[in-house]
Structure 1
Amino acid sequence: MVDKILEVSLLYDFYGQLLTSKQQDVLQLYYYHDLSLGEIAEQLSVSRQAVYDNIKRAEKLLKSYEEKLKLVEKFLFTKRNIECILESIRFVESKVDDKDKELLDKIDLIKEIASNVLDV
């Protein structure tokens, strides 16, 4: 279940704005606020079945956007590669002589840039 929550959360982060406001509301209540179908139905004055259908339709849309655009896939690929870069640069940094200030400054700059890309 955690994997599904993570998957939908990532998809929602990238494509949520493409959903209707009602679909956005239902997904937020279900996944982010952890409300049950009954609680959401009561809050929105609709049936549990309407909530369920809305969630399934929104999830299907999010997945179809990802199949076409692959933004989450590209994001995760880039993230993994930058983490490898940071790991490699930390290794290089451990091998550099402390007296080589210019090289250490360049290493710090690379680490900062890579970290900034991850934080975006």
Structure 2
Amino acid sequence: MSLKEFEDLEKGSALELKTVLKNLKTDEHGLVAAIAQQYDTKEVLMLAYMNEKSILESLETGQVCYWSRSRQTYWRKGESSGHRQRLVGMSFDCDGDAILLQVDQLGPACHTNRRDCFFFEVDGDKVVIKSAPL
């Protein structure tokens, strides 16, 4: 299944959340990519992965929860660092294979203590570090 069958719905049409979750394109581990974006500045902060349980927890608590592929456990952003992500909004892309999280990021989003995780910037034939840790 996919969200493709719902593409022609008119603006304002509503689907049950469980229907959308059932139709997400996940990998073999039940994960889907999630992009965290600062809600007011539209700054892209990070990419992580979520499964149905972490999506539902995030919606229920307002605190973003991811699945850590490296640790193989749930990861509530900021639970050890204090750099939490408050969920402001959640959207699914047209293919159902990516989630866009509108968040209010408290402190750095990256484990390197940088504001965002995308600090390796291509400049011609080099990659330049574009930011320093905060």
Settle same-fold status: TM greater than 0.5: no
More helix by share: 1
More strand by share: 2
TM-score by length of 1: 0.29
TM-score by length of 2: 0.26
